[in-house]
Structure 1
């Protein structure tokens, strides 16, 4: 019995290769380095109910709130729960923002016409912008933009079938700002 099993495996493998009559004893094997690019790793924190998440890439923080928590279906008027959530986001922006422009980005899923989704996402981003401007009281400048269904967070279709879970994640408003160093 071998004291180091990994050496036993190596011995067996090297003996098997050398004992194979198809492989000449003086054969050399070329070993190539495998090099893979590493994508940016973006850590994300998500609320227990999945309605809010926060990610950070360098100095940029993105807080995403699902539209289901902010608005009624096909509406752009904030719910009472949305105002509570946005108060927390406004506090975070006031405490951590490095200043400059805070981007409010509205997104939809793939249901409905492109033009409708574009307009809805902009209206929702502007509603969040107005609420945050009141709550942050001039601490930063806000800028709203709507992207409709052009920037899904997850694929709306999985294996050719609609994914309601993914669509719900795609219906969101993101608040993007740079943090103090």
Structure 2
């Protein structure tokens, strides 16, 4: 039906994803696909494994389907034990010329949506995959968790400042690197933080919302007894700075510190820990 091949990734360009069908089954859709090693030689290539509840909270998903009509991202369906509602392929690698054939279930889009887009962690998207009404029935073998359907987000990342901006049609979330805002282990804002916060304050000033959520996060260096209060103190410092810069009287601030409990990247590398050290400011557009 359609295919896409890896490019510019650590997997090289030897892994192809083929779509065989996408069909409705009750209130979900089932994707039938395969992953094929196109290269010669003797080297295996890595294959994406079945997703589970441990796969990246927000920033990494091995597979997802996009509903372009309703601008939503549909994540694989999981059972309540965290396992995937999918075929159980266990191969972590594929030999040259080899192939893994598999299927996976996703929350279905509303009736009237006749095609979806497949995105994966290893290859370019596949557009306009038609949804059919006939296909092999694959009933779930246990209790399913609630479906995960997210609004599509526009994401921008400034590598120099460590700022990440996520937008939906209704909401803006700006994550600021605490390496820019604070000295190591401190919760007092640096002099260089003011310009960044002034820009955020101007956006909040002109926004339609009245609630600003400020969430502090750390990496997992140190203990919870240090990280939890540090993340809260840093969020409070940002709140005080924004409240001084914002003049409209209707703004309500909600401040929380999460310590290292909500990472968005691995804590095994310096780059990952840097991403996890952040203060996120969320408000309505």
Give the TM interval when normalised to the shorter protein: 0.7 to 0.9
Which deviates the most, 31-40 or 163-172? 31-40
Q: Report the 3-state secondary structure (helix = DSSP H, G, I; strand = E; otherwise coil) of the residue aligned with 1:109.
A: coil
Which has more helix, going by share of residues? 1
Question: Which structure 1 segments of 5+ residues have no match?
Answer: 1-30, 157-161
| TM-score normalised over the length of structure 1 | 0.73
RMSD over aligned CA atoms reads 1.7
Give runs of aligned pairs for residues 9-158 of structure 1, distance below 5 A: 33=22, 35-36=30-31, 38=65, 39=73, 40=150, 41-95=152-206, 97-139=207-249, 140-156=251-267
CA contact (8 A) 2:231 2:257 kept: yes
| TM-score normalised over the length of structure 2 | 0.47
Question: Which structure 2 segments of 5+ residues have no match?
Answer: 1-19, 24-29, 32-63, 66-72, 74-149
Which deviates the most, 125-134 or 47-56? 47-56
- 1:42 to 1:114, Cα distance in 2 relative to 1, 3 A: same
| Aligned equivalents of 1:98, 1:105: Cα separation in 2 | 20
Could you say which residue in structure 2 is the equivalent of 1:15? none
Deviation at 1:58, TM superposition (A): 3.4
- Asked if 1:172 is matched to 2:272, the reply is no
Q: Determine which structure has greater relative contact order: mean sequence separation of CA pairs < 8 Å that are 6+ residues apart, divided by chain length.
A: 1
List per-residue Cα deviations over 1:31-67 (Å, max 9, x = no partner): 7546345234422112240421210133111011000
Paired positions, count: 143
List per-residue Cα deviations over 1:59-110 (Å, max 9, x = no partner): 1110110000000000000001111110110001111x22221001000001
CA contact (8 A) 2:205 2:248 kept: no
Point out the structure with max Rg over C-alpha: 1
